[in-house]
Amino acid sequence: MSQNQPQSLNLEAIGRLAAGVAHDFNNLLTAIFGGVDEGQSLLPPDHPVRQVLDDIDMAARRAAALTRQLLTVAKRQVVRPQLLDLNTLVRNFERLLQRVTGDDVTLDLRAAGDLPRVRADEGQIGQVILNLVLNARDAMPGGGQVTIETQAVELDAEYASEHPGVDPGPYVRLAVRDTGVGIPPDVAARIFEPFFTTKGVGRGSGLGLATAHGIVTEAKGHITFSSEPGRGTTFEVYLPQVTAESIQIQTAIAADEARRKATILVVEDEPMVRALTTRFLRGMNYTVLEARNGQAALAIVEDLRVAIDLIITAMVMPEMGGLEMVGRLHGIRPNVRVLFVSAYTLSALGGLDLDLNFLQKPFTRMELEWAVHRTLSSGG
């Protein structure tokens, strides 16, 4: 057995374990995210309970991130590339990053103007940024400064020759720099290895930088770092620029009034998730119908008096799964649009068609709203 085989078997075992527990775990996290969203919307910004809800939200996000890290390292995560503006992504993350770094760390954002777009999975690049900032924070136990920079750069042939696997050309550079303790040479050699960590028990899984490396490589990018003990560390992520593709500006959700008249059927066997999804959608001014399983959904759709514009359905349910149910429904309403929701990834469900309209649990109210908008707009 080769030296790499035990690690490969270890990753595969963890991948199977993560996929097996993801369903129940992500259903519970969906309910937690929903409760936090609803609680925050009911309280004024200065209410003392807001801080408690923020702490719950942060704990739930870190739990969800750990599951995603396991699935990414084990190659079981679904990647959905799209055109991204890294400046917008970093700004959207700013409040979250300030919370995770704490009061003793200063966060400095330096965004270059007219930054070209890149093509990558938005959630995964956000995960890379979060992982790098968390590592920067942990490298500064007495506080310090984290600087995040974006810049359009050109990597030449000389740089490419010094970094195997890198093609010369135009890239967008995302750098995360800290003023921390730095990385010793013996640690630097293993920095991207899965499960390698210098943190104490319970403080790190050893997956953060390995996950970042895997995500950036999957996006055909490059990640590197420079460090000196006692003088801080800089991680640099290079993603290829999108140079020859037209970029369509999508209509803002808030301005799309026509979709607010839609009727949506929610099919979900987990009562907490069904109730939460229904409350969210009604709060968005949709008309919402509910079904606890596939048979109940069929009965509603067979009633030709009910006009349904969109079905949101769990993929895995007792007796009749979402795919089977939708197959039967299309015989009655061939043009009905469908958004599949699952606590499993598509990979764990057997490598289904990646073009399916799909929302991964756990999701927030905003993520649900965008997925519904995207599905209604696409007609898929």
Q: How confident is the model at residue 188 (pLDDT cuts 50, 70, 90)?
A: confident
State the fold for domain 82-240.
Heat Shock Protein 90 (3.30.565)
Q: How confident is the model at residue 333 (pLDDT cuts 50, 70, 90)?
A: confident
The 10 Å Cβ neighbour count of residue 114 is 6
Q: Do domains 4-73 and 253-378 have the same CATH topology?
A: no
Q: What is the pLDDT of residue 258?
A: 47
pLDDT digits (tens, 9 = 90+) for 238-272: 999 986 543 443 334 444 544 557 899 999 998 88
Class for the domain spanning 4-73: mainly alpha
Q: How far apart are CA 206 and CA 105, in angstroms?
A: 23
| C-alpha R_g of the chain | 22
Tokens 């309970």 correspond to what residue? 49
Q: What residue ranges do the domains of the chain occupy?
A: 4-73, 82-240, 253-378
pTM: 0.52
pLDDT digits (tens, 9 = 90+) for 98-116: 877 888 999 999 999 889 9
Q: What is the pLDDT of residue 1?
A: 45
Do residues 368 and 374 touch, judged by C-beta distance below 8 A? no
Q: Which CATH number fits domain 253-378: 3.40.640.10, 3.40.50.2300, 2.60.40.10, 3.90.180.10?
A: 3.40.50.2300
Q: How far apart are CA 325 and CA 360, in angstroms?
A: 19
